Structure 1
Amino acid sequence: MLKGALVGAVAQELVKDLALAIQEQSQYAIQFPTHFEELEDQLKYMQSFVADASKLKDKQVTVKTTLDALRQQIYEADDLVVDCQIRDDYWKMKGSSCSPSLSEMCFRYQTGKKLTKINSQIKRTRENLMSFYVPIAGNQDNENNIDKRRWSSQVFDESEIVGLKEDAATLRDWILAQNEPQLRIGIVGLGGLGKTTLAKIIYRDVNLTRRFQEKIWVSVSQPVNEVEIMKSMLKQLKADDSGYTKDNMLDRICQLLSNKTYLIVLDDVWSIDDGWWERISTGLPKTEGTNNCIIITSRIKKVVKRMGVLETRVHQPKFLDDNESWALFCKVAHMSTDGEETPKLVEEGKKIVKKCGGLPLAIKTIGGLLSLVEKTDFEWKRISKNFHEKLTTLEGNGSEGNESVIASLQLSYDELPARLKQCILCFSIYPEDYEIDVDQLIHWWQGEGLVRGKNTETATESALNCLSELISRCLVEVVQRRKFDGSVYTCKVHDMIRDLTIKIARDEDFCSFSESGKHISNKNSRRLGVTSETTFQTLQGNSKLRALLLTTTRYIGFNKNIELAKVKSLRVLDLSQVILDSICVKDLWYWITSLNRLAYLNLRDVAKLFEVPNSIGKLWGLQVLILGECKNLTKLPTSILKLPRLMIFDVGNCPNLQFLPQGISGLSKLQELYGFKIAGPGNATGSRLGELKILTELRVLQIDITGESHIEDQELKVLENLEKLRVLSINAGHCDDKDIMKQLDKLSPPSSIEELYLKHYYGETTPRWINPQTIQQLQYFCLEDSRVNMMGKDFWGNKDHKWNVKGLCLKFCQRLNVSWEKLQAVMPDIRYLEISQCNSLVSFPCNVEAVGFWYKDENKKGSPKTQKVLSLKKIECS
């Protein structure tokens, strides 16, 4: 039975966020003093309850019912607080000191009534929990005190091993080639992938056995018991552990291993936060001249790296291919591989195996089930039809290699922080094997408030860190990433993880699914991924929908009479690439601009979108507005410039949009701006470069120069005020006006820039500010589709100023004449090079006439940074 994760993933985080919001927003307390004070008090009580109640089992029906009601109340309270925040931000931007209008007075009256009702409901819920929580919690505590660690040993059945030969060979090579006192190797991967089995193969390898005088196998798991670990080590070293203190035991282990070669396997490590590993590893001998090895298996890459494993010594076993999967299935299901079974049975068996996605544990589980039923194609068809249900309900016996698939994966979910649980559940709305655009995902999280900025970290940065954490924990797979630093562009989840998220999301009412696991829309839907099969009529009466995103379809069949048009609760709306044929655009915009809580709107690459109506100014809560790649977009209203919460604004690659309206300086919270077009001198209503001066929160800026653009002398130093700017892209738009080229040469960007993109630049040399003294922190430089003949003289710096650049990209620069030797001399840290059709380059280490790549260290090829601040796909591809 799955644990009651409902509160941990949703209510717990919402309660915490609400309490913080109320504490910080004193202006609400002025308008509703007693209401908000009472809500704050109620939430303080509830925080402790929801944290503990999440540990209770689903079988506690009364608890589950009460928590269901609590979740609904907290969603309503969250909506109310957001309404107040949006309204307050709007009035702050407007700067109105007038008496409240009639509509404002009405809003305050209605808000007061709603607060009174919510306070009363939460109070009753708290009393209900109090009435039966204590006795149940007491029994639960006794149950939770039982040691639930997953136990493993080095013993295994070699006859059932399939598909790990190459993985084992890799680890053997690392060990045999070592010449160091303590080699550390990490084996990382999804639960059930075969990490422990691979470690056993190495541990039992005869050739390696001769290399080590002592071998120790430790099953770590959760919760970590440091004393038990050391007792296990002493026992395997044939030493008595009685009478030793913790410190004495470690000293004794060190003595027994001194001047000996040893192999230690630490299996199933989840965390080292309490310092147990630092204490034990410090006590392990590291004698020069001895070759020792520590192998660590974990589901979390970050953990093994924190334990001292180098990036180049982290190995992730691959999923089994079709042939390996079938071979393993046949072993477990007692099938022959030489065709003794009927063709129909084999056909059904292979269909079932295909659904396992190459995950060994899933293959073993379903194979074990089929070994116990009659071998008929009718029976196997029945199981195949209910495959996902079988895997999510099958219980293992808890022994090694025979645990439930879903229970194994549930361990990874249970160990997530509450906020990451919300994030991983979002993957449930996407179809099987769907490649998810990371920009869409992180903007969804940001728009719905699942992640938030804090201190100096923006919400975008926080979201990318959350995604990085999920990838590190092997719950999310990377599909496409940037070669330079591993920035993730697209991702997906394994089918088994998707099944887990569907089950939990359905139980928590995070979004709606049928009993068979099909994503559906109904009056209780909170999030909806739209496919060609989605029916909007079933949304009748829905007042809960928070997020709607197109996935496998570009049609929504919208008109003002469908039930979707009556939904007003959306915070996230992603209609990128939607087909507007047969849609009354006026009706669509009328609906969109009625969504008062909308925080994220994506209309990227929408054909036949000619203009944005003035009514968009009513979306006071909008934080992310994406209109990039709308080729027909010609006009933007000035009302966009009065959105008080806008942080990301993208109109990049909109060729028919001549300029942005003047007044963009009013968007004081902007952090990312794409497609900023500078108007000409004769345009009194267009945007000017000087307006950027006060947008000091900008992290990303993409400037587009057109033939009409004009920069005044007094605007040349504007950019140096943007001290938080990290990414600067200048697209000169094939403009060959010599005056504008001279002005671009005189710009003064901030030294904080880490990534620089110069595109369609028609100057003969690079601008003089592109030099190692002016932009000292530059890590990546891209020069694309330009007429540059040579780098400017300042580019080469001097003996005191050399580049810190790690990555260089040169594309379609046919005239550029630079030698690799000279470039390396001023870029000593360069490790990544990408070249496309730059025929005049001299002695470069890769193909310059077509497409070429070069890496300084092949072992680090494609390895990502532990943290990436910004996603740059929209800049690189624009």
Structure 2
Amino acid sequence: MAEAMIEALAEQLVQVLKKPGEYVLEFQSEFNDMKTQLDLMKSFLADAYKLKRKEETVKTTLSMLRELVYDAEEILTDCLLRAEYRKEGFQCCSNFTPRELIFQYRTGKKLKDINERIKKMQKILKAYFKTIGQQSIHDDRGSIGKRWTSPVYDESAIVGLIEDTEKIIGWILPENRMLHQVGIKIFYSKQVVDRFEKRIWVSISQTINEEEIMKTLLKQLGEDVNGLDMAQMLPKIKQLLENKNYLIVMDDREGWSSCIIIRTRIESVAIEMGVEKARIHQRRILNEEESYALFCKIAFSSKEEAKQHPELEEVGKVIVKKCHGLPLAVKTIGGLLKSKAQSTEVWRRICHNFHDALTAKESENSVMASLQLSYDELPIRMKQCLLCFSLYPEDSEIGAEQLVHWWVGEGFIEGRNTSTTMELAFDYLSELISRCLVEVVQHRGYDGRVYSCRMHDLVRDLTIKIAREEGFCSLDDQGRQRTTARSRRLSFTNEADVRSMNKKSRIRALLMMTSSPVQFNRNIVIEHCIEDLLNWISSIERLAKLPFSIGKLRNLQLLVLSGCNNLQKLPLSITALQKLILLDIGHCPIQYLPQGIGRLSNLQELSGFKLVGADNKDGCRLAELQNLLQLRVLRVNISEESEIAEEELTVLTHLKQLKVLSINSEGCDKEEIFQNLERLSPPPHLEELYLRHYRGVLTPQWINPTSLCHLQYLCMENGDIKSTSPVFEGTNGTTWKVVGLCLKFLPRLHMEWEMVQRVMPRIRYVEVSHCYMLKSFPCNIDKLGVWRK
């Protein structure tokens, strides 16, 4: 990871040295020297990584280099923070105080020491290479197509196992009340989907407990588990499944249902759980034809497309043969080649590298070899993103938003002019999915944007191995977390983990994955942290207000407080967080945001914005948002106290970057506010619109294909709407570009499917629930119905 770290630090230094007078004039020569040394170091790091598994000296040197870069980053951050405080007139950071003079002396000494250490490392590494400056085959700035979706091939399609599939479906479909136990996964078959009203997949690791199993079941049944105790969960599950046909899949442990599928690598586990020998399906490997068919589905889109590239077809068959019929190996190598240019030279190089990674007598090595090769071929920064999965427990379902927030917050993502860091982070996740290194669990219906994902256990084994070697986090040989004095990233699943964090001061990422309240030890110290930060993090569910000192977190980019049910107020100091790109206070009882939010010029996402009335002198009005020119996502909540002034009706037109707008009027019956909502001028490039609890009889006039000519997705939920306005159907032949439509809990809405098809010719996904007056829709309108083109 030294490659990515050095690149990131060098980029920071470039920005700093452009304006030395504003930042670190006192240390300009030392930072210039560091930049020069790092540029030289980058020129041969790729060669060093090729040797790191062979040469212990190189391996040790790279480990030392990573720690050195961490130290350099921390010094640079200290300097930048003190420069900011100095500009704002903080007495402790004025030029000639004893405290500041001591800081300057110590910092200068540290920087000189770091530069000397870098030079020594260069000498060590140069001894192993005859040439310097060979370019890395990795291209971190290469094209990453915008992939909100999962891979283009259908993962539910079955290759080479048709007879096996039919046999297993035959085991589980008979209409009787027997409890079926089957040792295999057959979850996505159309026959199974049609047969069962509810399908639930519960992955069970070695450490999971009954409470976690029941929470998983309830979540997949669409229930909120907050506040439920063990005694309430089981009756709730029984109530939700009663009188329904359902399929529950549980890995490795037993459960309760009308059909249980057990997936395990160990036959004795299935037998001990009561599975009949005759109903244990043994995994078989694919033959060469089946393997190549699976490969073509991924590397190309089909066998037919592969035939259009005969020179690649030949190399592809050689590569597939080395996978020894193991599906994961085939999928991974196919995903890797799909991401590469269709160049015979590139494919032959990968084929050669794959050969080097294999041993002739161990076919199982083909899986790990393909995974290792796929990792090695990742762009530099994407490697860091993949290693983050090593901190999550086995079989975790990982929220995509949490994951990309982490990547952005730690600086793993480098923004571009055409994409924000958040957009690019989702592209990275899609790329990892496309390469078959990450699996999709849940995704959005209309465009496939990932909601949650997980990692195959073999891929996780590899990430743990590499994360340990690279010093990315502190893990033992079994992948268990261990805290050391140099731990940089930690994840906690229980309070015992937290207690082991005594006196650790180098933590950069802290994942809290326990639902129980956590009491932090007072001896814990985190670099650049305010004194009471851990106090309010550890009591986040009971949090009534943020401390004023939150304003000291000058590097804070993401602040997500959604779901803090007692949070009443945000301090005025929050307006000092100039680097903030995301502020989420959704589902919090906050009455208003403080004035000054408009100064957060880098803000890209604002969720939970409460529209205030004229009587509120301290709250942020809608007019102030017109200064947030980088805003991409805006979610507005409207209450009885809300007001929209005449001059505020056109505010949204100033937000030319806005892509997603949500307006929620829950609990508001004020006629005046709905009259003004009717007159809003929408942002010009809106792509997604969510209208919830709208009390008007007709849809607002501005919801039409002319005003929203870029709209891709329209969602209307929980309202009194009886019909769409006449302009909804367009004028002078204009039609919508909408591809996704969601209508839920609109019992009075009259709408005909023929009209939808006519005005939305590109429609390919419709989701409907409790809309009883819809006519001729091709899906269930009473309960949840979905139509896909």
Q: Is the 8 A contact 1:621 1:643 kept in 2?
A: yes
Give the Cα separation in 1 of the matches to 2:51 and 2:577. Answer: 44
CA gap 1:37/1:749 in 2 versus in 1, 3 angstroms: same
CA gap 1:44/1:849 in 2 versus in 1, 3 angstroms: same
Q: Is the 8 A contact 1:532 1:555 kept in 2?
A: no
Give the Cα separation in 2 of the matches to 1:104 and 1:716. Answer: 50
Matches within 5 A, 1:566-585: 566-568=525-527
Aligned twin of 1:824: 757
SS across alignment from 1:496: helix
CA gap 1:15/1:269 in 2 versus in 1, 3 angstroms: farther
Given the alignment of the two structures, is residue 78 of structure 1 paired with residue 73 of structure 2, yes or no? yes
Matches within 5 A, 1:169-208: 197-201=286-290
Give the Cα separation in 1 of the matches to 2:88 and 2:417. Answer: 22
Q: Please list every run of 5 or more consecutive structure 2 residues that lacks an aligned counterpart in the other structure.
A: 137-157, 167-264, 266-281, 294-302, 323-329, 343-356
CA gap 1:268/1:538 in 2 versus in 1, 3 angstroms: same
Aligned twin of 2:162: 166
Matches within 5 A, 1:277-356: 299-301=333-335, 303-304=337-338
User: Higher relative contact order by CA 8 Å / sep ≥ 6: 1 or 2?
Assistant: 1
Match for residue 492 of structure 2 among 507, 510, 530: 530
Q: Is the 8 A contact 1:786 1:813 kept in 2?
A: yes
Given the alignment of the two structures, is residue 435 of structure 1 paired with residue 404 of structure 2, yes or no? no
Give the Cα separation in 1 of the matches to 2:595 and 2:305. Answer: 70
Deviation at 1:118, TM superposition (A): 1.4
CA gap 1:544/1:846 in 2 versus in 1, 3 angstroms: same
Cα offsets for 1:269-309 (capped at 9, x unmatched): 99xxxxxxxxxxxxxxxxxxxxxxxxx9763448549889x
Give the Cα separation in 1 of the matches to 2:613 and 2:457. Answer: 53
Given the alignment of the two structures, is residue 11 of structure 1 paired with residue 2 of structure 2, yes or no? yes
Q: Please list every run of 5 or more consecutive structure 1 residues that lacks an aligned counterpart in the other structure.
A: 1-9, 142-161, 171-191, 205-213, 221-225, 234-263, 271-295, 309-394, 571-586, 594-601, 857-878
Aligned twin of 2:581: 647
Give the Cα separation in 2 of the matches to 1:216 and 1:660. Answer: 55
Given the alignment of the two structures, is residue 852 of structure 1 paired with residue 778 of structure 2, yes or no? no
Matches within 5 A, 1:235-634: 267-268=319-320, 299-301=333-335, 303-304=337-338, 397-398=359-360, 401=363, 403=365, 405-532=367-494, 534-560=496-522, 563=523, 565-568=524-527, 589-591=532-534, 606-634=540-568
Match for residue 658 of structure 1 among 585, 591, 607: 591
Deviation at 1:201, TM superposition (A): 4.0
Given the alignment of the two structures, is residue 739 of structure 1 paired with residue 672 of structure 2, yes or no? yes
Cα offsets for 1:426-473 (capped at 9, x unmatched): 111111101111111111111111112122311111111111111001
Aligned twin of 2:148: none
CA gap 1:431/1:45 in 2 versus in 1, 3 angstroms: same
Paired-residue identity, %: 44
Name the aligned partner's letter for residue 118 of structure 2: I
Give the Cα separation in 2 of the matches to 1:695 and 1:436. Answer: 31
Name the aligned partner's letter for residue 710 of structure 1: E
Computing the radius of gyration from Cα coordinates, the structure with the larger value is 1
Match for residue 117 of structure 1 among 113, 135, 144: 113
Cα offsets for 1:665-705 (capped at 9, x unmatched): 01111000000111111110011000001100000000111
CA gap 1:50/1:530 in 2 versus in 1, 3 angstroms: same
CA gap 1:217/1:759 in 2 versus in 1, 3 angstroms: closer
Deviation at 1:515, TM superposition (A): 2.8
Name the aligned partner's letter for residue 82 of structure 1: T
Match for residue 27 of structure 1 among 15, 19, 27: 19
CA gap 1:626/1:671 in 2 versus in 1, 3 angstroms: same
CA gap 1:768/1:215 in 2 versus in 1, 3 angstroms: closer
Aligned twin of 2:141: none
Give the Cα separation in 1 of the matches to 2:755 and 2:69. Answer: 62
Match for residue 37 of structure 2 among 26, 39, 42: 42
Given the alignment of the two structures, is residue 805 of structure 1 paired with residue 738 of structure 2, yes or no? yes
Matches within 5 A, 1:753-792: 753-792=686-725
Q: Is the 8 A contact 2:705 2:734 kept in 1?
A: yes
Q: Is the 8 A contact 1:665 1:692 kept in 2?
A: yes
> Under a length normalisation based on structure 2, what TM-score does the superposition of the two structures give?
0.71
Give the Cα separation in 1 of the matches to 2:283 and 2:9. Answer: 42
Q: Is the 8 A contact 2:332 2:437 kept in 1?
A: no
SS across alignment from 2:734: coil
Q: Is the 8 A contact 1:790 1:818 kept in 2?
A: yes
Deviation at 1:109, TM superposition (A): 4.7
Give the Cα separation in 2 of the matches to 1:87 and 1:746. Answer: 48
Cα offsets for 1:22-61 (capped at 9, x unmatched): 1222224634221111111111111113221111043312
Aligned twin of 1:258: none
Moved more, 20-29 or 824-833: 20-29
CA gap 1:95/1:721 in 2 versus in 1, 3 angstroms: farther
Q: Is the 8 A contact 1:744 1:767 kept in 2?
A: yes
Name the aligned partner's letter for residue 387 of structure 2: L
Q: Is the 8 A contact 2:597 2:624 kept in 1?
A: yes
Q: Is the 8 A contact 1:167 1:198 kept in 2?
A: no
Aligned twin of 1:127: 123
Deviation at 1:508, TM superposition (A): 1.3
Give the Cα separation in 2 of the matches to 1:738 and 1:618. Answer: 42
Given the alignment of the two structures, is residue 69 of structure 1 paired with residue 64 of structure 2, yes or no? yes
Name the aligned partner's letter for residue 578 of structure 2: P
Deviation at 1:202, TM superposition (A): 7.9
Deviation at 1:642, TM superposition (A): 1.2
Cα offsets for 1:716-755 (capped at 9, x unmatched): 1111011110000011123111111111111112120000
Deviation at 1:552, TM superposition (A): 4.4
Give the Cα separation in 1 of the matches to 2:622 and 2:700. Answer: 18
SS across alignment from 2:463: helix
CA gap 1:462/1:85 in 2 versus in 1, 3 angstroms: farther
SS across alignment from 2:388: helix
Name the aligned partner's letter for residue 428 of structure 1: S
> Under a length normalisation based on structure 1, what TM-score does the superposition of the two structures give?
0.65
Q: Is the 8 A contact 2:387 2:467 kept in 1?
A: yes
Give the Cα separation in 2 of the matches to 1:216 and 1:401. Answer: 29
Q: Is the 8 A contact 1:699 1:727 kept in 2?
A: yes
Deviation at 1:484, TM superposition (A): 1.5
Give the Cα separation in 2 of the matches to 1:678 and 1:611. Answer: 19
Give the Cα separation in 1 of the matches to 2:729 and 2:47. Answer: 61
Give the Cα separation in 1 of the matches to 2:162 and 2:370. Answer: 25
Give the Cα separation in 1 of the matches to 2:463 and 2:712. Answer: 38
Given the alignment of the two structures, is residue 670 of structure 1 paired with residue 603 of structure 2, yes or no? yes
SS across alignment from 1:480: strand
CA gap 1:217/1:666 in 2 versus in 1, 3 angstroms: closer
Give the Cα separation in 2 of the matches to 1:721 and 1:298. Answer: 45
Give the Cα separation in 2 of the matches to 1:70 and 1:117. Answer: 13
Deviation at 1:524, TM superposition (A): 2.3
Give the Cα separation in 2 of the matches to 1:201 and 1:658. Answer: 60
Give the Cα separation in 2 of the matches to 1:666 and 1:590. Answer: 24
Give the Cα separation in 2 of the matches to 1:848 and 1:588. Answer: 54
Give the Cα separation in 1 of the matches to 2:305 and 2:406. Answer: 47
